[in-house]
Amino acid sequence: MKPILILYASRDGQAQRIAQTLAVHLNTWPVQLCNLKTPPAPITSSTAIIVVASVRYGQHHPEALQFFRQNAKQLAHMPLAIASVSLSARKGDGSPNSYLKKLIHQYQLAPFAALSIAGKLNYPRYGWLDKQIIRLIMRMTGGPSDGISCIEYTDWPQLTAFAQKITAHLRQDNADG
55 is an interface residue for ligand FMN by CB under 6 A: yes
4, 71, 120, 138: which one binds ligand FMN (CB under 6 A): 120
Q: How many CA atoms lie within 13 A of 96 on its CB side?
A: 16
* Whole-number Cα distances in Å, 82 to 78, 121, 173, 177: 13, 21, 18, 23
Residues 6+ away with beta carbon under 8 Å from 162: 22, 81, 83, 94, 113, 115, 117
How many residues bind to ligand FMN according to rule CB under 6 A? 20
96 is an interface residue for ligand FMN by CB under 6 A: no
Residue 171, number of CB atoms within 10 A of its CB:
12
The rounded distance, in Å, linking the Cα atoms of 21 and 128 is 31
Residue in the shown chain whose Cβ atom is closest to ligand FMN: 119
57 is an interface residue for ligand FMN by CB under 6 A: yes
Paired sense of beta strands 80-86 and 120-122, if any? unpaired
Q: Please, which residue, 57 or 128, has the CB nearer to ligand FMN?
A: 57
The residue range among 21-29, 34-42, 51-59, 64-72 that interacts with ligand FMN, by the rule CB under 6 A, is 51-59
3, 13, 40, 92: which one binds ligand FMN (CB under 6 A): 13
79, 96, 119, 143: which one binds ligand FMN (CB under 6 A): 119
- For binding to ligand FMN (CB under 6 A), which residues are involved? 10-15, 54-58, 85-88, 119-120, 126, 130, 134
